[in-house]
């Protein structure tokens, strides 16, 4: 948010929040869910999106409806060939299928059928907002449409949403049941998001409390339930956690919370930050090997990530 707009926003919440906390919380929730502009900024971002669109041109476009949203899905290797494993891939906040296209395209090269989504408010999907419930609904509906996924892979916000969908946290929405899970640079809880947002826009404590209650009402679950480590422990599903220790958007402590969980393997891909990690050749190769080969629980592998890998996100 530009500095002047942020000053105006902070002043508005300070003025409105004390006498009208409920109204301020409604406005805060709308702002919290507002998605960034989809237009790539700068030559580099435009080139990255074009490269991703070129990769996605090899996939079938298969939009479907979830509630009031039209979600764009892209399917690689959708010829129905017997024996193909089926994987789901989902992107992070402010990203899209195009920006992470190197990942689903790389997994498709192993012979798998791969479905990658644009969440509502992103890519070619409809809308200008997204919340965690909408993301989980899109993931669950994708499994209804395409069939059981042998594995689900998510980056950042998408990784957290995918884990909540697998864990059935939002009981009214349903769940998916993949045999393997992969999270890349993903948060393992979301309390910090509300803390950071509230500090940024200057929400008074009463407004912040009502914002959280509103988010919980929409989700149909408590923020305490949005704990992907707890979901992973309940599921017992083999899980690969890939993270960079220098990640500035999602702190490495989110990944460290999985240490000691017997079904999780923690992979440090240092030097790749938050965005390049999802398109790095070494990371994609490690994910492919996890999905197709050795998935012994508790095994630790480190150091596959490297600076200078492919950067499509």
Kindly report the pTM of this predicted structure: 0.92
- Identify whether 309 is part of a domain: yes
Quickly state the pLDDT bin for 294 (edges 50, 70, 90).
Answer: low
Largest Cα–Cα separation, the chain:
63
Considering Cα of 192, then 195, then 198, then 200, what sign does the dihedral take? negative
Note the pLDDT of residue 173. 97
Backbone phi, psi, residue 210, to 5° = -75, -30
Give the residue with greater pLDDT, 155 vs 12: 155
Give the residue with greater pLDDT, 12 vs 62: 62
The answer to whether residues 214 and 69 belong to one domain is no
The answer to whether residues 169 and 241 belong to one domain is yes
- 205 burial class (0-12, 13-18, 19+ CB within 10 angstroms)? exposed
Look at the chain and report how many structural domains it folds into: 2
Structure tokens at 215: 């988010």
Strand segments (E) across the chain: 60-61, 64-66, 69-76, 86-90, 113-118, 151-155, 180-184, 239-243, 264-268
The answer to whether residues 1 and 127 belong to one domain is no
Note the pLDDT of residue 12. 83
The answer to whether residues 167 and 153 belong to one domain is yes
- Identify whether 124 is part of a domain: yes
The answer to whether residues 233 and 166 belong to one domain is yes
The answer to whether residues 146 and 206 belong to one domain is no
The answer to whether residues 108 and 179 belong to one domain is yes
The answer to whether residues 142 and 285 belong to one domain is yes
Structure tokens at 222: 């408590």
The answer to whether residues 209 and 134 belong to one domain is no
Q: Which domain CATH number covers 258?
A: 3.40.50.1820
The answer to whether residues 261 and 298 belong to one domain is yes
User: Residue 119: is its pLDDT beyond 80?
Assistant: yes
The answer to whether residues 88 and 27 belong to one domain is no
Q: For residues 302 and 235, what is the distance between their CA atoms, to the nearest angstrom?
A: 24
Pick left, alpha or beta for residue 289 (phi over 0 → left; psi -120 to 50 → alpha; otherwise beta). alpha
Q: What is the pLDDT of residues 142-194, one digit of tens each?
A: 999 999 999 999 999 999 999 999 999 999 999 999 999 999 999 999 999 99
Q: For residues 126 and 109, what is the distance between their CA atoms, to the nearest angstrom?
A: 29
The length of the chain in residues reads: 313
- Identify whether 53 is part of a domain: yes
Note the pLDDT of residue 83. 93
Considering Cα of 230, then 232, then 236, then 241, what sign does the dihedral take? negative
Give the pairing of strands 180-184 and 151-155. parallel
End-of-domain residue from the set 179, 199, 222: 222
Note the pLDDT of residue 18. 83
- Identify whether 117 is part of a domain: yes
Considering Cα of 98, then 99, then 102, then 103, what sign does the dihedral take? negative
- Identify whether 140 is part of a domain: yes
Closest-CA residue to 156 (of 230, 225, 96): 96
Q: For residues 23 and 29, what is the distance between their CA atoms, to the nearest angstrom?
A: 10
- Identify whether 145 is part of a domain: yes
CB 231 within 8 A of CB 163: yes
- Identify whether 39 is part of a domain: no
CB 262 within 8 A of CB 232: no
- Identify whether 300 is part of a domain: yes
Each as own residue / partner, the long-range contacts of residues 208-212 (CB below 8 Å, 24 or more positions apart, any chain) are 210/21, 210/22, 210/24, 210/25, 211/25, 211/28, 211/29, 211/32
User: Residue 230: is its pLDDT beyond 90?
Assistant: yes
The answer to whether residues 266 and 154 belong to one domain is yes
Range of the domain at 48: 44-190+226-313
Note the pLDDT of residue 6. 79
Cα torsion at 189, 193, 199, 204 (round to 10°)? -80
Q: For residues 199 and 204, what is the distance between their CA atoms, to the nearest angstrom?
A: 9
């Amino acid at each position: 948010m530009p500095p002047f707009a942020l000053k105006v926003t902070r002043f508005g919440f300070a003025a409105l929040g004390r006498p009208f906390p409920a109204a301020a919380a409604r406005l805060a929730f709308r702002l919290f869910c507002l998605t960034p502009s989809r237009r790539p900024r700068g030559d580099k971002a435009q080139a990255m999106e074009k490269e991703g669109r070129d990769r996605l041109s090899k996939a079938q476009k298969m939009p479907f409806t979830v509630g009031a949203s039209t979600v764009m899905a892209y399917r690689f290797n959708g010829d129905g060939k017997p024996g193909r494993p089926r994987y789901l891939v989902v992107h992070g906040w402010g990203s899209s299928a195009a920006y992470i296209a190197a990942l689903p395209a790389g997994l498709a090269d192993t012979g798998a059928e791969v479905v990658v989504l644009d969440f509502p408010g992103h890519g070619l999907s409809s809308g200008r907002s997204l919340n965690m419930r909408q993301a989980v609904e899109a993931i669950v509906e994708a499994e209804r449409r395409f069939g059981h996924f042998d594995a689900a892979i998510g980056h950042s916000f998408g990784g957290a949403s995918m884990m909540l969908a697998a864990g059935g946290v939002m009981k009214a929405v349903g769940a998916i049941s993949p045999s393997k899970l992969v999270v890349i640079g993903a948060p393992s809880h979301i309390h910090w998001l509300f803390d950071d947002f509230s500090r940024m826009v200057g929400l008074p404590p009463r407004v912040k409390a009502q914002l959280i209650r509103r988010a919980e009402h929409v989700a149909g679950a408590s923020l305490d339930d949005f704990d992907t480590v707890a979901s992973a422990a309940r599921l017992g599903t083999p899980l690969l956690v890939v993270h960079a220790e220098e990640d500035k958007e999602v702190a490495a402590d989110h990944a460290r919370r999985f240490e000691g969980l017997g079904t999780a393997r923690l992979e440090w891909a240092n030097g790749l930050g938050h965005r390049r990690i999802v398109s790095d050749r070494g990371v994609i190769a490690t994910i492919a090997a996890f999905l197709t080969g050795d998935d012994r629980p508790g095994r630790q592998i480190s150091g596959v990530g490297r600076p200078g890998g492919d950067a499509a996100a």
